[in-house]
Structure 1
Amino acid sequence: MIRTIAPHRRVAAAIGGACLAMLALPLLLANRVRRSAGAPRRILVLEPWGIGDLVLATGALRALRARYADAHIAVLAKSYARALVVSSEMADEVIAYDFPWTAFRHKYRPSRYKVFELWSLVRSLRRARYDLVLNARADVRNNVLGALAGGGRFVSLTCGLGDFFATDVVKVGGESHRSDDWRAVVERVLGTAPTAGTPRLTVSDTLREEMVAALGLERRVGQLVIGVHPGARIAVRRWPLERFAAVADSLSECLDVRLVVFAEPDGYGADIPLRSPFVVVQRSLAHMAAAFSACDLVICNDSGPMHIANALGVPVAALFGPTKLEWFGPRGGPSRVVRIEQVECRPCFDVCSFPEPHCMTRLSEQQVLEAVYELLAERGLLPSGTAALPASARMLPIARH
């Protein structure tokens, strides 16, 4: 997928890619890879970026597992991938590495680039002798990594000059969704559109039951468990905490609900100013996913956890601001997206030009409540006779547009 990015980011990416290319070229010239015959036995999937990116790649992983049941599938990603794709049995191995250019801050600080670590990683990838390497991100650094891995076949999304490093180049439309990018790459390998292309995660019954017991989420007949995840790793994607609290309190007043608040690792969200009783989840990614699976619905910002909940099949009411829905919208289960439709500066790539992110602060409590009630009604979870949006909810203050 070809994106329009800021000039300084293009320059930085080009410099980083050029450095990697200088490292890659001698290896490629000395030992140019050969295609493997027959079905691949060892597959490497490149997804070293964010949680949401990884979740949106799960449809591709499921399709690969369905076709190549006996193959060894490895994912090059951040360490949290172990809690998601291995536990869901989509991959056999996660090769954990935190590439400096995938960070949100200080990504081009020279001290973060540990050349000997990178070289050691490349050597281990080449020793693994992968038959097939896959990449669905239009980033030259991913292309260089794929070439350095030394696989028998490297299928990659088109990336301009980076296409040189791939054996197979896949072209998609500029407005395609991340999960569709992965679908296109896998389709090139399989020769047909994958049937299991939707993002999907699973959690074990044991872990789910453990979280239900730990949080005291055993419910009465007719009671709903509503999750609230007010965080996002990037601050401009966060709707104000007091707005989340107003929505959750309104739901508590109108319905029989148990509220579960999901706090960030740094504690953000735990101090949400709720009047209603609630429990806080601030545990590992695997435990968070298990707690999500116990919810009837999750209200959240555009974030990696939003994609996790959605891929678990949990209905999500997702608040979108600076991100393009067409690229990164929820694709796993039932969802409603709340956003301001006309925002000239979208996408801003999370660098807001204003004192506050108006694309988020202009979202009203009513919009979110309407999305929640629509989802509950769609799932048949509203008590008989409950209005689509109760009068008490309609009386909440409206954010100025």
Structure 2
Amino acid sequence: MNPPVSHQADDSPGKVRGAVPRVLVVKLSSLGDLVHALPALDTLHRRLGWTFDWVVKEQYADLVSLFEPVDRVIPFPRRWNRRSAREFLVELRRRYYHLVMDMQGLLRSALIARAARAALTIGPSFHREGSFLFYREIAGKRNKNRHAVEELQDFPRHLGIASPEYRFPIRVPELPPPAAPRPHVILVPGSRWPTKSWPWEKFVPVAAHLIDALRATIFLVGDDRDRQTCETIARELKRPGNVFNRAGETSLQELVVLCATADLMITVDSGPMHLAAALGRPVVALFGPTDAVRTGPFGEGHRVLTAPVTCRPCFRRKCRYGSVPAPCMTGIHPDDVVRAAMDVTRGSGLD
């Protein structure tokens, strides 16, 4: 049994590493980035018994509350004014922390970490905006040729803990699963980056094939901005009994249930992609301006499709050639997506 830890300030790293401290995580967004951080916390939870308080943007609080190592969620307010700032800081400083891990690496997250009552603050190797000025220590060395999940394992490694197994312990809410015939296929056509989107008219033949070949039920997922695109796809398919537009209608906890019960997801580089992969569901991911080595679906059993263009990955929100949609996405053919979908589901009983 570990000895009790004094709540008096002691900023020596040995005190943090040798006991069961109170630990605060600062990672504000986004959906995929939050999921990427979970295996690092799970490593420390399994090996040392640590649990975590987590500062996250208010809109993601319901998701982070489902992460098993998380004991307390501190929502960062959507609207920052005198009242909300005061309430947030009171809640942030309610506890003393032996360790704060800023896993975002931006100026805002570093300032939040600094505002907490803490002995030691550790930041990431991928720090930006001068955030390193607010850290006592940096976890790992910058290496862009790793997946984000692997990169965030620098935090437990920095504390002397390594794990060969990366897990995503997410509690699935006790909500009713979709009442529709299986198999369930989720399509995610939209992204906040215009360059990540795949033309809606290319999704139509893919969905039609899955309905005909597998008798699949299609769920179209996205936020309010994707509602019209998803409605267009559903209308063009002319299969009202097989297609359901859930864009803008699904809470994060409902999305967890939908992903956990899905048989397949076909998606652009998106937050739901990372959630489905973390829940062990097969994913076919369409990548254009971003690099799947760093932010592709993590784990085995997924397929990533790209177009044969020399300008990718460019990491641009707008195509340098002014093309909308971007050539790196339009160059992905629906037939290749269908083949990949059938490949990842082969042997699962769907084919």
TM-score, normalised on structure 1?
A: 0.73
Q: Give the CA deviation at 1:116.
A: 6.7
Output the CA distance in 1 between the equivalents of 2:222 and 2:115.
39
Partner of 1:63, secondary structure, is helix
What is the identity, as a one-letter code, of the residue corresponding to 1:278? V
Structure 1 position 138, deviation (Å) = 3.9
Q: TM-score, normalised by structure 2?
A: 0.83
Q: Which residue of 2 aligns with 1:153?
A: 120
Worse overlay, 357-366 or 310-319:
357-366
Residue 76 of structure 1 aligns to a residue whose secondary structure is strand
Match in the other structure for 2:6 = none
* C-alpha distance 165-341 of structure 1, shift in aligned 2 (>3 A): farther
Counterpart selection for 1:257 from 216, 235, 239: 216
Q: What is the correspondence of 1:242-391 to structure 2 with a 5 Å cutoff?
A: 242-266=201-225, 267-268=227-228, 269-272=230-233, 273-276=236-239, 277-281=242-246, 282-332=249-299, 334-344=301-311, 346-353=313-320, 354-356=322-324, 357-377=326-346, 379-383=347-351
Shift of 1:343: 3.7
Between the aligned residues of both structures, percent identity stands at: 26
CA distance in 2, matches of 1:200, 1:343: 38
Contact 2:74–2:91 (Cα < 8 Å) also in 1: no
1:116/1:257 CA distance change after superposition, 3 Å: closer
**Which of 230, 233, 237 pairs up with 2:192?**
233
- Between the two proteins, the alignment pairs up a number of residues equal to 327
Secondary structure in 1 matching 2:166: coil
Picking from 186, 211, 218, the partner of 2:177 is: 211
| Residues 83 and 113 of structure 1, relative CA distance in 2, 3 Å threshold | closer
Counterpart selection for 1:176 from 146, 156, 160: 146
Q: Distance in 2 between matches of 1:149 and 1:342?
A: 46
Q: Report if the CA contact (8 A) 1:179-1:198 is conserved.
A: no
Task: Determine which of 20, 27, 30 is the counterpart of 1:47.
Answer: 27
* Distance of aligned partners of 1:332 and 1:78 in 2 relative to their CA distance in 1, 3 Å threshold: farther
SS in 1 for 2:232: coil
Distance between the aligned counterparts of 1:342 and 1:119, measured in 2?
50
Q: 1:142 to 1:347 in 2, by over 3 A?
A: farther
CA offset at residue 381 of structure 1? Answer: 3.0
Is residue 2:39 matched to residue 1:59?
Answer: yes
Q: Is the 8 A contact 1:230 1:241 kept in 2?
A: yes
Distance, in Å, in 2 between the alignment partners of 1:167 and 1:116 is 30
Give the one of 12, 24, 33 matched to 1:35.
Answer: 12
**What RMSD in Å do the two structures reach over aligned CA positions?**
2.6
> After TM superposition, what 4+ stretches of structure 1 lie above 6 angstroms from structure 2?
none
Structure 2, gaps ≥5 residues long = 1-8
Deviations 1:43-78 (A, max 9, x none): 111111211101111112222322343x44111112
Q: Call closer, same or farther: CA 1:149–1:203 in 2, change over 3 Å.
A: same
CA shift in 2, pair 1:335/1:345, >3 Å = closer
Equivalent-residue separation in structure 1 for 2:87 and 2:10 (angstroms): 19
Alignment of 1:20-31 (within 5 A): none
> Gaps (5+ residues) in structure 1?
1-31, 100-111, 384-401
Counterpart-to-counterpart distance in 2, 1:225 and 1:117: 41
The offset of 1:382, in angstroms, is 4.6
Contact 1:228 1:299 in 2 (8 A): yes
CA shift, 1:195, in A, is 4.4
On the 8 A contact 1:55/1:200 being kept in 2, the answer is: no
Q: Which residue of 2 aligns with 1:393?
A: none
Offset from partner CA, 1:7-58 (integer Å, 9 cap, x none): xxxxxxxxxxxxxxxxxxxxxxxxx972372424321111112111011111
In the TM superposition, residue 249 of structure 1 has moved relative to its aligned partner by 0.3
Cα distance, 1:119 vs structure 2: 5.9
> Separation in 2 of the partners of 1:122 and 1:275?
52
